[in-house]
Amino acid sequence: MASTACTNTTTVMIQVNICLFGYFCWYLNYGLDGWFLANTLQKVFQVVSILITSYFKVDKRTRNGFTWEDLTEGYWQYFKETVEYTVGALCEEVVFQLSTLLVNLTQDASQIAAQTAIINTISYIYETSPGFTLVARLRFGILLGRKKVQAAKRLFHSVFIGMFCTALLVGLLLVTFTDELSSVYSSNNEEVDSYVRPLIVEVCIFIGPIFTLTYLNTICRCIGWFTVLAYANVSFMIVLQMVFGLVILYGLHGDVTYLSVNTFALMSILAVFVYTRISC
């Protein structure tokens, strides 16, 4: 019943999204303002619809069965873990924003265009992995709850290998269609093209860690290693990326290709760190 309600709610939200963005962006021709307005209304509808659905689907015996003491008991421990979880999760999103910020410091339109293009490509790859991650996380959590630690480890390794192989196939597709991708993103501008092509190659080289990092972080959180993950993400994805990036930019006078290698290499090191820690 709950899964059916969730599916129905998601289906309705998709239809509402199409109507809102179509109405404000195309029918009223509000452009960027229309996008922000439609996005705000979509978020409001999403929150309200989920609250209503959750209220009517929750067991009536527990709907109002709590007190203020229940809510405040262990609150600060919960707050601490929430902050640690949020910091780690935000670092996953901020990593590419910081990379783009560093490229923007070059003040080179061609490099900025190439960076924007490659981030757009990576977003499709990076945002695909949560589908695999969601299924694996549920099964991993069930196995841990039943104290089947070895089975959980086997599942972890199996999913990781499957995702890594999938990433390699995606990388092969990127290599195969490099000319087409570069043509689309560079609009046949030779200078932009000279940056886009090596960036695509870099993505293909580091595509394994890029594709699996979200999964590794999620499993790490399932085990309860919020603090370790938060410190690791902040250290690698923010501090070291900025320090090394600034050295590459101003000390070595590197371009967007070197800055991207810096980002992808740090993601790879973080992925290896998390993987080995879970494996132990």
pLDDT in tens, 54-112: 777 777 766 666 667 766 777 788 787 788 777 777 777 788 888 888 888 888 888 88
Q: Please give the pLDDT value at position 108.
A: 84
- With CA atoms as reference, report the closest residue to 257 among 106, 147, 35: 106
Q: Please give the pLDDT value at position 246.
A: 92
Q: Please give the pLDDT value at position 92.
A: 74
Is residue 17 a contact partner of residue 45, using CB atoms and an 8 Å limit?
A: no
| Confidence class for position 6, pLDDT limits 50, 70, 90 | low
How far is the C-alpha of 42 from the C-alpha of 46, rounded, in Å? 6
Task: Please check the confidence at residue 247 and state whether its pLDDT lies above 90.
Answer: yes
Task: Please check the confidence at residue 42 and state whether its pLDDT lies above 80.
Answer: yes
Q: Please give the pLDDT value at position 269.
A: 92
Q: How many CB atoms lie within 10 A of CB 113?
A: 20
Indicate the residue type of 206: F
How far is the C-alpha of 115 from the C-alpha of 92, rounded, in Å? 18
Task: Please check the confidence at residue 34 and state whether its pLDDT lies above 70.
Answer: yes
Phi and psi dihedrals of 189, rounded to 5?
-85, 120
Mean pLDDT calculated for residue range 177-199: 81
Task: Please check the confidence at residue 123 and state whether its pLDDT lies above 60.
Answer: yes
Higher-pLDDT residue of 55 and 41 is: 41
Tracing tokens 């940056």 back to the chain, one arrives at 195
60: three-class secondary structure by DSSP: coil
How far is the C-alpha of 120 from the C-alpha of 114, rounded, in Å? 10
The alpha carbon of residue 69 and the mean position of all alpha carbons in its chain are separated, in whole angstroms, by 36
Q: Please give the pLDDT value at position 243.
A: 92
Q: Please give the pLDDT value at position 244.
A: 93
Q: Please give the pLDDT value at position 64.
A: 64
The residues near 193 (Cβ < 8 Å, ≥ 6 apart) are 182, 183, 186
Mean pLDDT score across all residues of the chain: 82
Q: Report the interhelical angle of 207-223 vs 149-176 (nearest 10°).
A: 160
Q: Please give the pLDDT value at position 2.
A: 47
Higher-pLDDT residue of 69 and 254 is: 254
Is residue 130 a contact partner of residue 275, using CB atoms and an 8 Å limit?
A: no
